[in-house]
Amino acid sequence: MRIESDKSEINKPASEIFSFLTNFNNFQKLMPPQATNWQSTENDCSFTITGMATIGMKIVEKVPNTLIKVTSNGKVPFNFMLDILFTETSPTQCTGQFIFDADLNPMMAMMVEKPLKKFFNLLVEKMKEV
């Protein structure tokens, strides 16, 4: 299953957004209220989505001002990859997008697709507030 968030126009340079998001201690500021029990270091984090599951993530690759590659970490309901993409559109602006890939059975995919799409669209919109 692949979910692509909407692209968001951000009025900050790609370098500033990249620097902020490559530290999971900052990432919590993007999370909705349903994300509780937040724990993080610079390179990994875990949190609970109220009424659902505990999710763990770790950064596995950083391409300056272009890409942050994140993978599932620890005990999670399913394994996934999450790419956070940046495209510089001017020296003071960039676009951001989340691309989520997981190998899910069709029943699970059907249950989580809409909530995950909504979640990633919320995260990409909150990037504007960084």
pLDDT over 90, % of the chain = 80
Among 16, 1, 38, 6, smallest CA distance to 119 is for: 6
Q: What is the pLDDT of residue 34?
A: 87
* Residue at token pair 């790609």: 14
Output the pTM of the full model.
0.92
Whether residue 10 is predicted with pLDDT greater than 90 in this model: the reply is yes
Model confidence pLDDT, tens digit, residues 80-118: 999 999 999 999 999 999 999 998 999 989 988 998 999
Model confidence pLDDT, tens digit, residues 47-70: 998 777 889 999 999 999 999 999
Average pLDDT over residues 12-36: 93
Give the span between the Cα atoms of 59 and 45, in whole angstroms.
9
In degrees and rounded to multiples of 5, residue 22 shows phi and psi of -80, 5
In degrees and rounded to multiples of 5, residue 42 shows phi and psi of -60, -40
Average pLDDT over residues 36-41: 94
Q: What is the 3-state composition of the chain as percent helix, strand, coil, each rounded to the nearest 5?
A: 30, 40, 30
pLDDT over 70, % of the chain = 100
**b/e per residue 3-41 (b: at least 16 CB within 10 A):** bbbeebebebbbeebbeebbebeebeebbeeebeeeebe
Q: What is the pLDDT of residue 83?
A: 98
Domains of the chain: residue spans and CATH: 2-129 (3.30.530.20)
Whether residue 75 is predicted with pLDDT greater than 90 in this model: the reply is no
Question: What's the mean pLDDT when you consider all of the chain?
Answer: 93
